[in-house]
Structure 1
Amino acid sequence: MKIQIYCRSFAPAVGGMEKLMEVLAMQFHREGHDIAVVTETEGSADLPYPVHRRPGFARYLSLCRDSDIILTAPLSMRRILPQALSRRPIVAAPPDPFVWTNRKERIAAAIKWWASARVDNIVPSRYMATRFARATVIMNPYDEETFHLPPPGSPREGILFVGRLDARKGVSLLVEAFAKIAARQPQAHLTIVGDGDERDAIAVQITGRGLVDRVTLAGTLRGHALVSEMQRHAIMVVPSITEEPFGIVALEGLACGCRMVIARSGGLPEAVGPFALTFARGDADDLAARLIEALGEREPPSPESVSRHLQQFRPAVIARQYLEVLRSAAA
């Protein structure tokens, strides 16, 4: 099957949807399908399938017509028209519910809502399925070849955050919660991996709370460097203050053996199942209490039980589920 994947942001860009589509494209390629990725992201990445970056209207229409089916993540105002004109079946994989903060975004969201009701949608959680018509729930995969347990007996300590530094991800909330426990836990250290618009504000907050020696802003890490951070930390926190559609980063933390502490936010609890401590979204006091609990925990979930939970998120398993939907739509 000739599958075109449209992903607005793609490698070398970093993010949940970028990683999801890269993992799926690789798995489709391994199973013998003819894959072409189209993206608005400039740059380059060493991948075994073609990536077309910012093609013009005519070129993109040609790419659509050369496909058996289009997997679009997400529906794009810029690309809806050529996709429709190609008369190829379209399956959408919306990364989150359509939201808006101004009139222009509201109009775009209304058009996308109209379009999404006329195509098949693949969503990663039951939470997301309540936001879309014609929705099939297929949870997101994690990269099992990259994210795995460290050697037995490896030392682990400290608290870790991995993600974009923007207001929605709750990093400021995490720093506030850490400040509440810092005096009672003098050996605890917080590492923040990632970058974004909130970095300067977070740095000011850390300084203001007197935590310069207790909190490290590590910047963006990828590949082995990122895995090493996950493998050496005991606890990983996903403190999102808005509803998360899913939570691939939580799966990656679980796979690396971190004790997960997550906000009760959207699809996050569906990703981790019973293998995380949870706190009320946006509640720094509740997060601080869960951090104290995790730091003092003597019997965390066994690696064997976590491994069994993660089996359902293996790329091959998820890719087969996607292919079932794509074949049905293309029939």
Structure 2
Amino acid sequence: MPLKIALCSDYFYPKIGGITTHIENLARALEKRGHEVVIVTKTADFNDEAHGLKVVRIKSLFRSSQTLDLPHIDELEEVLGKMKPDIIHAHHAFSPISLFSILVGKKLGVKTVLTNHSIQFLHDFDYLWKPSSFVMFPLRQYISSADRIIAVSRAAATFILHFTDKEVSVIPNGVNVEGYAPQVKEFDGRSVLFVGRLVYRKGLHLLLETMKRVIDEKKEAELTIAGSGYLSPLLKLVVKTLGLQDNIFIREDLSKNELIDLYQKANVFVMPSVFGESFGIVLLEAMASKTPVVATAQGGVQEVVTHMETGLLVRKNKIEGLAKSILTLLEDESFSERISSNAFRKVKKYDWSILVKKIEEVYEETLRLP
């Protein structure tokens, strides 16, 4: 049965990141299945016609798109009241529009689903987060008000369970495999790729030091850093200081097609995050592009990548391990091809055509609740 679904989140364009990607792809997958989807997010300077999805934007207290800028709840209630959705699906358990949309749903008598996309440091340390959740009682109350809760990984489920006693279903992030898969994957033995926000927790300080070691061993090695963030000016300065301008390139504001082209041409994808990775959609994008992955073993990463089978995992903050793994994949073509082939077979289970049906099942179960 076709449903009217409101996807509510503070995270959508012009914000770039995993939650935005998830919401966009979920909306498209639901529409393809015949549902009517509206994305409800904050007012921002962005042309919503660019992606062809239906978006309603809510004014916030300080008229900004900053995550913690509180939305006007009365406007949110008015929008959802006029929309009359069958399901309100909130994304990100710790941001205002997401939590307030659950509150509004309860007031309007609309069933609500909440997806947690995030973890924090020591996400599985119950002695820290369980007491904290009671100190932050309103947050715990909002989260527990959702009729159903989803997490994108077991790590994300472990974290959200500190804030609720409700059952949490794990439905992972997805990728449109066909859109990333190259017709032919060429091996050049030198190209390394990072994709993500240029922020501390992504481990870019480690990546630059790692690449310095890689380039010392393999002069022709190249790293492309694709993304934007507050570390961009500092990264450019460090690259220049290290004298690596001919080997390390920072590319910002790329189109989706340009990003896919980088994925398909890269020989190694590296994800050196130091904390806070609940899953990592970029891992799926690399795997779908037949690009072998080197990643730090933390958070939900280990649920996606199996060491020595679908990628190489390294203990976090271990520059020597990162460099050795990257060099191995750049220098051993047959090993690289075996890893990428295994990963490509595995990533097919994360295709949105499969995952959207699991989310539909949650919607149907939620609508049957008293």
Q: Is the 8 A contact 1:156 1:233 kept in 2?
A: no
> Between the two proteins, what is the percent identity of the paired residues?
24
Q: Structure 1 residue 128: deviation in Å?
A: 1.5
1:244–1:225 CA distance, 2 compared to 1 (3 A): same
Aligned partners of 2:256, 2:235: CA distance in 1, in Å? 25
Give 1:181 shift: 2.4
Q: Is the 8 A contact 1:150 1:231 kept in 2?
A: no
Q: Give the superposed CA RMSD.
A: 2.4
How many angstroms apart in 1 are the aligned matches of 2:142 and 2:117? Answer: 15
Q: Give the AA of the match of 2:48.
A: A
Please report the TM-score for the alignment, with normalisation by the length of structure 2. Answer: 0.81
Match of residue 278 from structure 1: 313
Deviation at 1:97, TM superposition (A): 3.0
Counterpart in the other structure of 1:10: 12
Please state how far the C-alpha of 1:263 moved relative to its aligned partner. Answer: 0.8
Aligned twin of 2:74:
58
Question: What is the CA-CA distance between 1:4 and the residue it aligns to?
Answer: 0.7
Question: Which residue of the other structure, out of 85, 88, 102, is the alignment partner of 1:67?
Answer: 85
Structure 1's 147 and 193: CA in aligned 2 closer, same or farther, altered over 3 A?
Answer: same
Deviation at 1:154, TM superposition (A): 7.1
Cα offset for 1:59? 3.7
Of 290, 300, 311 in structure 2, the residue corresponding to residue 257 of structure 1 is: 290
Residues 33-63 of structure 1 show CA distances to partners (whole Å, capped at 9, x for unaligned) of: 1211101152123345421012553342133
Structure 2 gap ranges (5+): 60-71, 122-131, 162-166
Measured against aligned partners, the alpha-carbon deviations of 1:191-243 in whole angstroms (never above 9, x if no partner) come to 11111100111122212222122111122312111111111111110111113
Cα 1:291–1:308 change in 2 (3 A) is closer
More divergent stretch after superposition (14-23 vs 140-149): 140-149
**d(CA) in 1 for partners of 2:135 and 2:232?**
29
Q: Relative to total residues, which structure has the larger helix share, 1 or 2? A: 2
Aligned with 2:154 (options 117, 123, 126)? 126
Q: What letter matches 2:324 in structure 1?
A: A
Q: CA deviation at 1:319?
A: 0.5
Counterpart pick for 2:105 among 75, 83, 86: 83
Instruction: State the SS of the aligned residue for 1:220.
Output: coil
- How far has the Cα of 1:302 moved from its partner? 5.9
1:317 correspondence with 2:354: yes
On the 8 A contact 2:310/2:339 being kept in 1, the answer is: no
Counterpart amino acid of 2:347? L
Aligned to 1:306: 343
SS in 2 for 1:146: helix
Residues 1-331 of structure 1: matches in 2 within 5 Å?
A: 1-42=3-44, 43-46=46-49, 47-54=51-58, 56-65=72-81, 66-75=84-93, 76-78=95-97, 79-80=100-101, 81-97=103-119, 110-119=137-146, 120-133=148-161, 134-151=167-184, 153=186, 157-273=190-306, 274-298=309-333, 299-300=335-336, 301=338, 304-331=341-368
**In structure 1, distance between residues paired with 2:290 and 2:43:** 32
- Contact 1:29 1:49 survives alignment (8 Å): no
Paired residues of 2:116 and 2:160 also in contact (CA < 8 A): no
Q: Offset at 1:6?
A: 0.4
Letter in 2 for 1:213: D
SS of 1:130 mapped into structure 2: helix
- Please give the alpha-carbon distance, in whole angstroms, between the structure 2 residues aligned to 1:258 and 1:225: 16
Work out the CA distance in 1 between the residues paired with 2:340 and 2:79. 45
* SS of residue paired to 2:347: helix
Could you tell me how far apart the structure 1 residues matched to 2:340 and 2:324 are? 24
What is the identity, as a one-letter code, of the residue corresponding to 1:203?
K
Q: What letter matches 1:17 in structure 2?
A: I
The one-letter amino acid paired with 2:358 is Q
1:141-160 C-alpha deviation (Å, 9 max, x unpaired): 11224211243557574111
Q: Distance in 2 between matches of 1:160 and 1:129?
A: 29
Structure 2 match to 1:102: none
1:146/1:223 contact within 8 Å kept: no
Q: Using the TM superposition, give the Cα deviation of residue 8 of structure 1 relative to its aligned residue in structure 2, in angstroms.
A: 1.2
Structure 1 pair 37/157, CA: closer, same or farther in 2 (3 Å)? Answer: same
String of CA shifts for 1:60-83, please: whole Å, max 9, x gaps.
Answer: 213334111110012433525433
In structure 1, what is the Cα distance between the partners aligned to 2:105 and 2:280?
Answer: 29
The TM-score with structure 1 as length reference comes to: 0.90
Counterparts of 2:41 and 2:21, CA distance in 1: 13
